[in-house]
Structure 1
Amino acid sequence: MKNTLLSAINLHMPSRKAPHISIHIVGWILFMIFPLLFMANGNGYTALVSPATHYSYWLFCGCYICLFYINRYVLIPCFFLPRRYICYCAAAALLCGCIFMLQPFDRLLQQKWATPPASALTMAWVYEPPLIDITSLFIFFMIMALGTAITTTRRWQETERRAIKAEGEKIRAELSFLKAQVHPHFLFNTLNNIYTLALTKNNNTADSIMKLSNIMRYITDEVSANYVSLQQEVECIRDYIALQQLRLIPGQVEYHVCGELNQRKIGPLILMTFVENVFKYGISKHCPAPIIIRLHALPHCITFYCSNRIYPQRAARQGSGVGIPNTRQRLELLYPQQHKLDITDDNNLYTVRLTLFTD
């Protein structure tokens, strides 16, 4: 219980506590002025200030100020938030009993009409204390509800901040995982292809090395943000396809891009995942089939399409890796309710249709 209390106090004492304290001070000043206005009845400054010299006024204010802080910083963090509702209700009932016995509002009214009128001819209203001080109990429940509402709201806001931060951390972690996943699938094969080009003194060797360098730089350095330029993503895909074509027959890959790319943004490596998946599962040395990759940047959306043939020996592995589920989660985080992903395997073709709504 002690640790819970200390943590609760620390939670409500952040570095920006000055505005928080100011709000409390202003709120309690208004609360303390209200009974003075209620008792003055417009009789001038003296009648306004004189009730503050009586003990019943400070008893009234002190009871509810202490009640507020006991409820908010002791009862709620120690009992209510940990769902120890029976203990919380018992403690609240004990405080309610104290208010019932003290009757702070009743004592305040007794002070107002304790002095007889100055003139015997003046009719004075004689205050008769009730058996139960309903007003004091009503204020008690209002103060308890106010403290609970404020603490619950602050805790909800803190939970929302943590959730937003956790989503950002999750996106970064998934992006880092995706980076590590993209590397092994093509890096060694590409290096072997470049090595073969070097041995045969092929004129494309230097260009292939430059393309591989561009891809590695993009993956490792330029995709740390949540969104990158669509032009950068397309250039990475173009270099990736060019390197993959080193081991394919000419014309096997149909790659088409159209639309305005310069001013558009996209989540990094989202499209790259599907392109990498096409080359991982859609290539066979024994029965080559065409690979289709298309990207269209429309004014209010980005459409992506790719398809490859399903080979029986690889059908069980098609889409079974972690790349596609990882990308689905990232789409949910980066484009909530703003994307449509359709993956099918009909007619012996594995097809991906992705639409990203940008406006």
Structure 2
Amino acid sequence: MVDFFYSNQLRYRISRHLLYWLSFNLFLAFIWGSTGESYQIHLTVQALLWPARIFVVYGTLYVLIPKFFLKRNLFVFGISYIIWLLLVTIFVQRTVWQYSRSFFFPDWKNYDMFNVTEIMGNVFDLNLAAVFPLVFVFVKFYNAEQKKYLTLEREQYKSELNQLRNQIHPHFLFNTLNNLYSLILKKSDEAEDALIRLSGLMRYMLYEANVPKVPLSKEIEYLRNYIDLEKLRLNASNTIHFTSSMNKDQEIAPFILMPFVENAFKHGISNDKVSTIEISIIANKDLLTMTVYNTKKINANQDNGEKTGVGLVNVQKRLELLYKDNYEMIRNETESHYKMELTLNLI
């Protein structure tokens, strides 16, 4: 059924046209039958008008619509259609009625071809034949435009998500390589363990997370490994707490939680004063709640420049794209601490 109405194959197009003209004639037959006038007169009139209807319908479908309507020149299309109707009507008035009334309708001696009422009657009659094809074409065009728009929107959506996700990776690598570099400088035995953890993170980042959704357990494991790597460079004045719990392994967009963790370490850790970071992730059925609390290091406001805010700006864009109305983020910031609570519906 869909192919019949929307396919451009020749057999479907011919079938649609035949069905339309058959239906239109049946409609006119119903109108004729309700007037009580002679069928012979009506049949003759309709037969005389048939060529004019063909001109109006197919001139509109195959000339005006491709030339103006499909190019979105709607004003010119409307004016051209009206002019086309009037030209065909004048042709009907000057030829069909002028030369046929003496043969078929000798009683129509008082017929005035320039009478406005008669002209408008013919305009209406010819326009009636074109209305249904025009409605069909407009609906088909609208559906095609909607489909094209949705396709472009999906492509733009995917492109933007990939771009935002790719922007996270260099930021993460910069921090992690800095951590590893400091361990190598100290000639720490933990450097080997750090390399193993880093390789695991890279594997997840390059291969396992290259999909729209990943298991929540994998994302939490990724965060835990990152936090463990960050801990390697901290001293005793820094306190890090990370807890997670879930009663069901839901799926989540990869790296959607990571910028909050990165932000806490970037702006909350200081070796010059006591620093605290508390991260909690609780997944109860389909509802995930992430809470991040961190003390602010000295001169945090000066350090919070454009580059440091890229991660949070990107993640908020991703949240809007992926979860729209299915998330809530509350921030609370003072001179001494920063707290963020994210509630995410994973359905």
1:151 aligns with 2:151: no
Matched ranges for 1:1-359 at <5 A: 19-21=7-9, 23-37=12-26, 38=28, 57-78=50-71, 80=73, 85=75, 87-103=76-92, 131-132=118-119, 133=122, 134-140=124-130, 143-144=133-134, 146-193=136-183, 195-196=184-185, 199-200=187-188, 202=189, 204-249=190-235, 252-260=239-247, 263-318=249-304, 320=306, 321-346=309-334, 348-359=336-347
Give identity over the alignment, percent: 20
Deviations 1:164-211 (A, max 9, x none): 221111111111122222211222222331x256x34x3x44332211
Alpha-carbon displacement from aligned partner over 1:36-60 (angstroms, at most 9, x marks no partner): 4445989xxxx9xx99xx6753443
Aligned amino acid, residue 324 of structure 1: L
Q: Matches of 1:34 and 1:176 in 2, distance apart?
A: 58
Cα distance in 1 for residues equivalent to 2:336 and 2:232: 25
Q: Report the AA paired with residue 328 of structure 2.
A: K
Distance in 1 separating the partners of 2:276 and 2:259: 19
Whole-angstrom CA distance in 2 between matches of 1:355 and 1:35: 59
- Distance in 1 between the 2:72 and 2:204 partners? 52
Counterpart amino acid of 2:62?
A: Y
Distance 2:250 2:146 in 1: 35
Cα displacement (A) at 1:347: 6.0
Tell me how far 1:306 sits from its aligned partner: 0.9
- Give the whole-Å Cα distance in 2 for the aligned partners of 1:273 and 1:336: 18
- Tell me, in whole angstroms, the C-alpha distance in 1 between the residues paired with 2:298 and 2:242: 25
Give 1:319 deviation, angstroms: 7.4
Question: How far does the alpha carbon of each residue in 1:133-155 deviate from its partner, in whole angstroms, 9 at most, with x for none?
Answer: 13213444555555444324422
Q: Which one-letter code corresponds to 1:159 in the other structure?
A: Y
Q: Which amino acid aligns with 1:254?
A: H
Give the distance between the partners of 2:73 and 2:271, measured in 1 at CA. Answer: 67
**RMSD between superposed Cα atoms in Å:** 3.6
Structure 1 consecutive aligned stretches of length 4 or more whose deviation exceeds 6 Å: none
> 3-state SS of the aligned residue for 1:226?
coil
Residue 14 of structure 1 corresponds to none
1:229–1:264 CA contact under 8 A, matched in 2: yes
Change in Cα spacing, 1:55 to 1:317, as seen in structure 2 (3 Å) is farther
Rounded to whole Å, the distance in 2 between the matches of 1:79 and 1:290 is 61
TM-score of the two chains, using structure 2 as the length reference:
0.78
Unaligned runs of 5+ in 1: 1-16, 117-123
Q: Normalising by structure 1, what TM-score?
A: 0.76
Q: Which amino acid counterpart does residue 310 of structure 1 have in structure 2? A: K
- AA aligned to 1:354 is L
Structure-2 change in CA distance of 1:34 and 1:62 (3 Å): farther
> Is there any run of 5+ residues in structure 2 with no aligned partner, and where?
34-39
Q: Give the CA deviation at 1:316.
A: 3.1
- Name the CA shift for 1:209/1:189 in 2 (closer, same or farther; >3 Å): same
Question: What one-letter code is carried by the residue in structure 1 that aligns with 2:164?
Answer: E
Shift, 1:235, TM fit? 0.8
